[in-house]
Chains A and B, each alone.
Chain A
């Protein structure tokens, strides 16, 4: 692989729109070589977590094997190189999101912690009794519950933008729901249960006309499309490292400096202070004000490697390829008798939620698993979405750039096997 700095520039990739060399890419992922129940693994649960390329595994290994030490506090050699590596990862993420400053990149555990941080820090400072928080009907529980907790704490009200039967947000309703009491909008960039890509730039503009800040839950977007936080104009953006082919336990919260400066710390402890006496504590500068305690250093280093890897492949190529896979899989699955796709938005990421007449998604999952096909069956941490579509659960195949059309064929054959068992 080329070093990332040669290829992170999106413009240089526009010319190189050649289709991905998926066969070669698959060589980068050791797990894709394994068998499950005696069959080659067909991993179609990428919305749950992404697989890790060898470069990420190596980065984590290398950190523990050659650099392990605590950061920001040692004056010894190891601590210096570990600190430099960890901070270099932050700089990589800054470039990846096109943030304007590394102080705007906060390491967190994942999307969930990023959202909770905003709810508890920004929310508790700026949201008051009678105020409103606006989310959408397609949110993951991690973009619902933190707001419910906040609303309970401050006496605010949670309001929900409805969607149509294709799983698209109703923009007129969104417009109608934005009002003087709205203190924050928090919506998914891409829905994990439906695949819908929301028109987030438009949503941000509409909220900003009323000076309402917007948090985007980028858990399902950042691994699959170019995200430019300045272009989107969002105030906060959260994503998880593990879905972006990096380690678990690490993620990013981007926040505009002007907000982060005004927000109180989320947790107290070491690293987030500049001076402590028993009378008063002075908080550290951004982003450290929000990073109390020893962080997941290896995770941060691994995430940096993942960002490099993904940028090296090129997100435009990834998006284009996954779109092709989605079209192919949608067409193939639609030929299955009694199969209904849940989530048919015009703008979709490569997520295919479906139900089969007379067969519970859990049973689909078990049969597919026996064929080596890993999908998710359940409510996808989005129970309100299931209720909206009147199903207890769905089966969900979700794709990444290392998946192939041949794997889609295996999926479709396995779904036919489900029919054979149950009909």
Chain B
């Protein structure tokens, strides 16, 4: 049985209470808005790109603990990454949330983000965790439109 404590780990609760990089970013070169129509979660991701490197990244929005913590940890882990590294991380997180990680070694590769691995046992919550990542990707791809989980 999936345990609540696997989902709501201390780290997640902490990021929910005091989210990191939780503000608008002046001088952002990329931004996108994401929306989960199912539960009304909203997130805006701001990115400052310099020479293919994510110099700064932040977010704003409202949402559940999972979506907020996921966005917060995402900004923490993407800061300073190259676009290629970021893409790799996106794929890895995506796999983890779908419960398709083959081994613990895979989990090691994504570092702190591994605390979100419990989410895959709560199918209704996977979109909460992936919203900020999809929004991040939409911001990179430009367009600046609205990303939806549906």
Contacts and interface: CB of A to CB of B under 8 A. Distances in A.
A386 B41 CA distance: 13
Contacts of B63: 360, 362, 392
Interface residue range, chain B: 20 to 34
A378 B125 CA distance: 13
A38 B124 contact: no
A334 interface: no
Contacts of B41: 362, 392
Contacts of B11: none
A37 to B, nearest CB: 6
A360 B64 contact: yes
Interface stretch (A23-31, A126-134, A244-252, A363-371): A363-371
B146 interface: no
A417 to B, nearest CB: 8
B66 interface: yes
Q: Which of A362, A378, A379, A422 has the most CB of B within 10 A?
A: A362
Contacts of B38: 378
Contacts of A363: 8, 64-66
Contacts of B125: 362, 366
Contact of A421 (B8, B68, B122): B8
A366 B124 contact: yes
Nearest to A371: B4
B62 to A, nearest CB: 5
Contact of B65 (A37, A38, A360, A370): A360
B134 interface: no
B55 to A, nearest CB: 31
A362 B128 contact: yes
B40 A386 contact: yes
A310 interface: no
Contacts of A370: 4
A188 interface: no
Nearest to B7: A366
Interface string B109-150: 000000000000010110010000000000000000000000
A377 B65 CA distance: 14
Contact of B39 (A37, A367, A393, A421): A393
B122 A366 contact: yes
Q: Which of B4, B16, B63 has the most CB of A within 10 A?
A: B4
Interface string A361-393: 111011100100000011100010010000011
B132 to A, nearest CB: 15
A366 B122 CA distance: 8
A365 B125 CA distance: 10
A365 B122 CA distance: 12
Q: Which of A363, A379, A421 has the most CB of B within 10 A?
A: A363
B13 interface: yes
A354 to B, nearest CB: 15
Interface string B32-48: 00000011111000000
A37 B7 CA distance: 15
A392 B16 CA distance: 16
A359 B64 CA distance: 7
Contacts of B7: 366
A421 B66 contact: no
Interface in B91-110: none
Contacts of A386: 40
Contacts of B16: 422
B122 A393 contact: no
B40 A367 contact: no
B102 to A, nearest CB: 27
B84 interface: no
Interface string B4-41: 10011000010010000000000000000000001111
A228 to B, nearest CB: 37
B40 A392 contact: yes
Contacts of A367: 4
23 contacts: A38-B1, A359-B65, A360-B39, A360-B68, A361-B39, A362-B39, A362-B63, A362-B66, A362-B125, A362-B128, A363-B8, A366-B125, A367-B4, A378-B39, A378-B40, A379-B39, A383-B40, A392-B41, A393-B40, A421-B4, A421-B13, A422-B16, A422-B65
- Considering the complex of A and B, which 7 residue pairs feature the smallest CB-CB distances, nearest first? A360-B64, A362-B64, A392-B40, A393-B40, A362-B39, A363-B65, A363-B64
Given A361-B64, A367-B4, A383-B40, 14 more contacts: A360-B39, A361-B39, A362-B63, A362-B64, A362-B125, A362-B128, A363-B8, A363-B66, A379-B40, A386-B40, A392-B62, A393-B40, A422-B13, A422-B16
